[in-house]
Each structure stands twice: as structure tokens, then as C-alpha cells.
Amino acid sequence: MGRAGTGTGGAAVAAAVAGPLLLLLLARPPPATAGDCGKSDIRLVSEQFSQAPQKLSFYSWYGSARLFHFRVPPDTVLLHWLLQVSQSGGPMCSNVEITVYFRYGAPPVINPLGTSFPANTSVQPSFFVKMLQSNASINISHPAPGDWFVAAHLPPSSQKIEVKGFVPTCAYIFQPDMLVMRVVEVSILEPNVPLPQTLLSHPSYLKIFVPEYTQELRLELQGCASNGSLGCPVHLTVGSATLPSNFQKVLTCTGPAWVCHLLLPSPPWDRWLQVTAKSLAGPHVSVAFSAVVTLTACRPWIVNFKQLLQSSPNQSCNASTGLLSPSPGYQDLGRNIRVGGGPFCLVNYQVMREDMDVVSVHFRPMDRVSVLVHSGMPSVMRLYLNTGMDSGGSLTISLWANKSMISNNTLVMVCVNAASPFLLFNTSLNCTTAFFQGYSLSLSTSSRKAKLIIPYPETDNWYLSLQLVCPQSPEECEKAKVLIETTLYLVPCLDDCGPYGQCILLRRHGYLYAGCSCKAGWRGWSCTDNSTAQSTAQQRMATLLLTLSNLMFLAPITLSVYRCLLVEASIYAYTMFFSTVLLLLGTLVFAMSLQLDRRGAWNMMGPCLFAFVIMVTMWVYRCGHRRHCYPTSWQRWVFYLLPGISMAALAITIYTSMMTSDNYYYTHSIWHMLLAGSAAFLLPPRDKHVEPWACSQKFTCHYQICKNHREELYTVT
């Protein structure tokens, strides 16, 4: 059973268990209104999209989550996610809770570990569902067309290092399928042109094109009647649903028709706006009305860059000399659109986009001067983040106000919005447009700098709106002007993940996004959370333990040389050296296999079993040859063999069951010392007929350099 959760309300989402009948139900159109006569709507067609399944991982950083990227087609009225989970590994695998996130326009920003984000970072709550090993479904009515992302992961990792082969290998496979129901016949609402509509059993699907520089949209129902009587039982849904936040406008018209209207300030520019009308009347009751839309255009005041470029460097900061009236193309926003004859409503500063690298963009005003902020109208900058490949980084906005130009009673308000700019600074400061809750910043004499970080910004055009306000004395703002310097970047990782992290570029098919992989106990989105971080002394101690603990092998090396066991001495010296520098040359087959999978059970057990078989075979052979078992003395068992076997068993126990990512430096160092100690105890004794350190006497067949004293010639025999 799936459970849905989010920090924000208003999302038209439902979670349900998907049964075998689910696919049959999806082939039918969505539930009709109360007046439905049971006939299917021929205007609706269904489509299905799927991606290859992925194996889920326990969460430790953002790269642990599995990302899926879908594109919802235009005119979609119903989006259905079918979430399928399968398990492999046998009955020993337990049921685990799977978390699935959904977001429109960009990958979801998640924080399963509850770590802190960098300062000045704005993060919206994520919409997610939790499910076990059973299929679940999510329905979204009137979804926004474009990019949708799904991310899934297992619970946070226990950080325990397990040896493969001793624990069951469990795999959890996740696959989301996207099924959409879209309209093939949509009526287009033109500005100031009434569009008659009649509702009976099926809803009416309308759409409006909102051109650039639209300041306000007004939607009104006129002449509404139900079976010839007055009244307007109509339910209107305007806009598209997005996650995690949903700003769809819902209007229920039950009173007289002349009061049924909707005002949308700063609607999204240069796109289609969906409108769905449903009847609230009973069965077999028709509702007739005319829909009228009115668009109020905004007159932009465009900066003349040619004049600014021709001016001298000393005059380049006087931006007021570079303002011209709008061009005819901006004055005429289209047929039947009413352009206000009053003053201009914004100053348009054009911005140049400079692509630096993958998910790395620099935005700057084309005149290379500061942005001049007035009190009468907002100064607007547009950031082009609509390529489809810009949502995998972090948008950083840094602002700085000139101290000499800002007074004590003035305040520079800044709003950052997607799809359309915020223009109503004179009436409100909440940075809310028709379908987007913007990010708010402010500059004053006490705080002349402001910074905003938006991880994974939505794929869209983003707008930076700035205006000078004087809450206490409005008359001071009439002639005041402030120069604001801007630093606008899109970066893969903030500050390149800092000194304790690594910025890693991740890929899902052709889509690229970045994440930070932290080390030394640092955590968080940009590796800035030091709640579990190791101090410098702890890091040095861990390094010294892992390296110097290998010096314990000096004991078995010395004993091997003392007892003339040169092969054993060379093996221990090789192990000590390459374990000290954490480097494997791969000259031995076992070393190569160990490097490929250091925690594989057979990479350890294979050499051990091979050596054990050889030792047992030789032991049986020599016992039979000598007519007695080795060793014969109890001192050898008590003081050498049993302590060595105990140390080896303890080392194996620590290696297989007690090692975690947090205590790795200490447990692995103990493993080094116990392993070297057991080797020293388990070495065979010195041959009684050989003197200590007299290893050369054992080699009877070797080259000798002989000297002929008579001829004084050297020969090799």
C-alpha cells in the first residue's frame, strides 16, 4: 500500500494499490460529471510510456537514488503513474520500504538523511509516496506538459560493510510506467472574442495562448443559463498541476453569471493555458455560456544597448540615458489585445547567456553595467533556463547594492520567478504570480548583499524583478535610483562541493545532472553539514592507523628470516608494503580478483581454502611418512598454534560482521594487526640443523664464482 506525503497542500494526487484490473481501467476515460450518460468521450486518446527498470540502492547520497525522466505531451487531462516493484534473492530477503519522489520541471530535491543545506538555499518540500513490495499508482489531473522526473531509493544505508556470500544478496527492481489521457479536440479562446459552450455529459476543454509581456488575464463567463433558467452551475479549472507545489486555480460558478470571473496577475508568458469547464447540474441538464478572455499587455521600456556601447566608460553607468520607448513589435502584442495607454510597467534589461561547460552557465547584462533600479516600475532580467539540460545544476544569484546610493528609508525588493516576472511591487511584496510562488530577497543599508541558491531549477525562463520601495516615506522614492550589481551563475555543484566533497556528474540516458559525494563524515547537499564530520586529528589518526598497523608484519617477516623461511618472508613483506601504500599492482591473480570486488566472499575464501587444502595434504603426508602426527609437543599447541588460530578467527569475525563505513579506519587497522600476529604465531619452527640467520646454507645448488690463482681468470661453474 502506498502512502503519499508532502510538505505543501493542494496537489490533486491520489495514491492507490494497483490490481490486475488497473490496466483495463486506464483504457477508459476519466470519470465524467454528474450528468454523464455513460457514453465515452471520443475526444480523448490514451498513450503509454515506459522506461527500463533500475535496481534500487540504499540511500547514502543523491547518486544512490534512481532517476527517471518522462515528457508529458500537451493537452493532457489525466496523468497516471503505475509504480512496479519486484524482488529477487530468495525468501531470506525482507520487505523494505521504498520512497518514490515526483517533481515537474527538474529532478526532485530530496533529503532523506535530514542534513542541512548551505546558507541562502531555498528548498521546497518534496512530494513523495512510500510503498512496500506491491504495485501502487498515482493520478494527477490536468498535469503540466513538459519534463517530469521520478526518483526512487531504499531506506538510508546502515553503513555496514558486508562480505558477499555470508549474507543474502537481495535486489529490488523498480519500474515506473506513465499512462496519459490527452484531448485531441481543444477549443481555442481568442482575446475579446466570446466562445459559446454547452455542457451536458462531458466537460469542455479550452486553451488560451498567453503572449509575452502579458500583465493580467481575466476570464469571464457570460450569458450563463441552465435549461433556460438563470444561474451558472459550472466548475472551472484553470492552469496545469505541478509537483511538489500546485497553484491551479479552481472557480465554482453557482451564482449569477455576471459575478463569475477570474483574474490572473502575471500569467505564464509565451505558452498555452489550459481551461476545463465541467457542469455541476444534474443528469440530462444542459448548461450554456460564453467564455470571454481579456489580456492586459505590459509596455516594456527597453534599454538601448547601442547607445550605451557608444558612450564613454565614465558615462556607461548612467543607465537613464540609454532608455527608449518600446519598439513597434513590443507595443503590438497581437490582435485584439488591449494595450494600456498609461506609463510603462517594466524596464527590460536584456541578459546574455554564456555557456561555460556542462550544466555551467554565466548570465550577465549585455551592457556589462549595473542594473539601475527605480521606484516607479520594476527592472526585469530574463534568465534562459529552458534548454532542457539546465535543471541538473544549482542557480546562484548574488546581488550587491552601492552604499552611497541607498538611503536609510529605502528598500530594494527582489523577486525571482519562473515563467513570468512579478510586477506588482506597489500593491504586494509576496512575489506570487498566477501559478508560481517566487523567491523573495531584499537589500537595504543594513544588508547591502543578498544571495539565493536554487538547487535543480525548473526548466523554464526565469525572471529577476527588482524595484525600489519606501514603506515609511514613499515620497523619498520618487527620484531615488540605486545601482545593483548582479552575479548570476548556473553551476553543477555549489562551491564544487567544498574541500570535503567531490562533484560527480550523473547521467540518466541523455539527461545530465550533478551531485555531491562527501567524505570524512561530512554530509549534506553540498557537503557543508559537519554534524558527523571528523576533525583533522581524527583524519590523521585514521590514516596513521591504516598505514602503520601494517608494520605488525615486521614480526612474521623477522621470524621468517630468522628461521630461514624466505618464501614466507617475501610474501609478508609484499603484503606489508602494498597494504601500507594502499596500492595493488595486480601482478597476482588473487590480488586482481580482490581489487575487482574487495568484499567478495570467494576472493577471501578462495586463496584461504587453496592454502588450507595444501597444508592438510602435506600434514597428512608427513604424518604418514614420520609415523606420528605433527606437532608432538603440547607446548607448540598452547603457545603457538592455539593463539595464532584464535587471532585469525577474531580477525575474520571483525572483517565479516563488525566493519562499517564509520569505524572502518579502526576495525581494518585491528584486522591488520591480528592478521600479522596470527602469521607470526603460525609460522613453522626453525630447522634444528640450521643455525639462525644462516639462510644461505640451505641453497646447495647455486652459481659460484671461482678464481684461478695461476691464470688469474674468473670462470663460472
What's the pLDDT at 273?
94
- pTM for this one? 0.74
Is it the case that residue 410 has pLDDT exceeding 50?
A: yes
Higher-confidence residue of 294 and 42: namely: 294
Q: Residue 224 has which C-alpha cell? A: 450563463
Q: Provide the pLDDT confidence category of residue 599 given band limits of 50, 70 and 90.
A: low
Q: Provide the pLDDT confidence category of residue 258 given band limits of 50, 70 and 90.
A: low
User: How far is Cα 440 from Cα 696, in angstroms, rounded to an integer?
Assistant: 83
DSSP letter for 310, please.
H
Beta strands in 271-339 (DSSP E): 271-279, 287-297, 300-303, 323-324, 338-339
Reduced to 3 states (helix: H, G, I; strand: E, B; else coil), residue 329 is helix
What's the pLDDT at 159?
66
Higher-confidence residue of 352 and 574: namely: 352
Q: CB atoms < 10 A from the CB of 72, how many?
A: 21
CA count, 13 A, side-chain hemisphere, 621 = 6
| Mean of all residue pLDDT scores within the chain | 79
Q: Which residues contact 677 (CB under 8 A, 6 or more apart)?
A: 552, 555, 644, 647
Q: Provide the pLDDT confidence category of residue 492 given band limits of 50, 70 and 90.
A: very high
Per-residue pLDDT, averaged over 80-100, amounts to 88
Q: Residue 580 has which C-alpha cell? A: 601500507
- Residues 79, 143 contacting (CB under 8 angstroms): yes
What's the pLDDT at 63?
93
Task: Tell me phi and psi for residue 684, to 5 degrees.
Answer: -70, 155
Angle (deg, nearest 10), helices 664-682 and 642-653: 160
Reduced to 3 states (helix: H, G, I; strand: E, B; else coil), residue 464 is strand
Higher-confidence residue of 32 and 703: namely: 703
Is it the case that residue 513 has pLDDT exceeding 70?
A: yes
Window from 88-102, 235-249, 288-302, 658-672 with minimum mean pLDDT: 658-672
Higher-confidence residue of 693 and 340: namely: 693
- β pairing state of 394-401 and 360-365: unpaired
Burial of 688 (0-12, 13-18, 19+ CB in 10 A): exposed
What's the pLDDT at 681?
83
- Residues 575, 675 contacting (CB under 8 angstroms): no
User: How far is Cα 609 from Cα 196, in angstroms, rounded to an integer?
Assistant: 85
| Preceding peptide of 244 cis, ω within 30° | yes
Distance of CA 52 to the CA centre of its chain: 19
650-663, pLDDT tens digit by residue?
888 887 777 777 77
Is it the case that residue 627 has pLDDT exceeding 80?
A: no
Distances (CA, A) of 665 to 56, 591, 659: 28, 21, 9
What's the pLDDT at 376?
82
Burial of 231 (0-12, 13-18, 19+ CB in 10 A): middle
Is it the case that residue 685 has pLDDT exceeding 80?
A: no
Higher-confidence residue of 681 and 612: namely: 681
Is it the case that residue 85 has pLDDT exceeding 60?
A: yes
338-369, pLDDT tens digit by residue?
334 456 888 999 899 999 999 999 998 886 66
Per-residue pLDDT, averaged over 106-129, amounts to 92
Q: CB atoms < 10 A from the CB of 354, how many?
A: 11
Higher-confidence residue of 175 and 614: namely: 175
Higher-confidence residue of 573 and 203: namely: 203
User: How far is Cα 234 from Cα 357, in angstroms, rounded to an integer?
Assistant: 51
Reading phi first (left if > 0) and then psi (alpha if -120 to 50, else beta), residue 90 is in left
Full set of structural domains in the chain with CATH: 44-159+167-183 (2.60.120.380), 187-297 (2.60.120.380), 344-491 (2.60.120.680), 536-682 (no CATH)
Window from 95-104, 270-279, 472-481, 513-522 with minimum mean pLDDT: 472-481
Window from 35-49, 506-520, 539-553 with minimum mean pLDDT: 35-49
Beta bridge mates, 127: 102
What's the pLDDT at 180?
95
- Residues 410, 491 contacting (CB under 8 angstroms): no
630-651, pLDDT tens digit by residue?
777 777 778 888 888 888 888 8
- Residues 565, 532 contacting (CB under 8 angstroms): no
Q: Provide the pLDDT confidence category of residue 690 given band limits of 50, 70 and 90.
A: low
What's the pLDDT at 590?
55
Higher-confidence residue of 229 and 703: namely: 229
Is it the case that residue 576 has pLDDT exceeding 90?
A: no
Per-residue pLDDT, averaged over 543-558, amounts to 81
425-460, pLDDT tens digit by residue?
888 888 999 999 999 999 988 888 999 999 999 999
What's the pLDDT at 228?
63
Reading phi first (left if > 0) and then psi (alpha if -120 to 50, else beta), residue 239 is in left
22-38, pLDDT tens digit by residue?
333 333 344 443 334 34
Distances (CA, A) of 154 to 15, 35, 509: 19, 45, 22
Q: Provide the pLDDT confidence category of residue 606 given band limits of 50, 70 and 90.
A: low
Per-residue pLDDT, averaged over 319-327, amounts to 37
Is it the case that residue 521 has pLDDT exceeding 90?
A: no
For 86-108, give the secondary structure using H, E and C.
Answer: EEECCCCCCCCCEEEEEEECCCC
145-155, pLDDT tens digit by residue?
999 999 999 99
Window from 437-441, 512-516, 531-535, 541-545 with minimum mean pLDDT: 541-545
The residue type at 578? F
213-227, pLDDT tens digit by residue?
999 999 998 888 887
Most confident residue range from 145-154, 312-321, 550-559, 671-680: 145-154
pLDDT > 90: percent of the chain: 38
Q: Provide the pLDDT confidence category of residue 534 given band limits of 50, 70 and 90.
A: confident
Q: Provide the pLDDT confidence category of residue 605 given band limits of 50, 70 and 90.
A: low
Burial of 111 (0-12, 13-18, 19+ CB in 10 A): middle
Q: Provide the pLDDT confidence category of residue 233 given band limits of 50, 70 and 90.
A: confident
Distances (CA, A) of 495 to 238, 303, 507: 40, 33, 21
Is the torsion defined by CA of 276, 282, 288, 292 positive or negative? negative
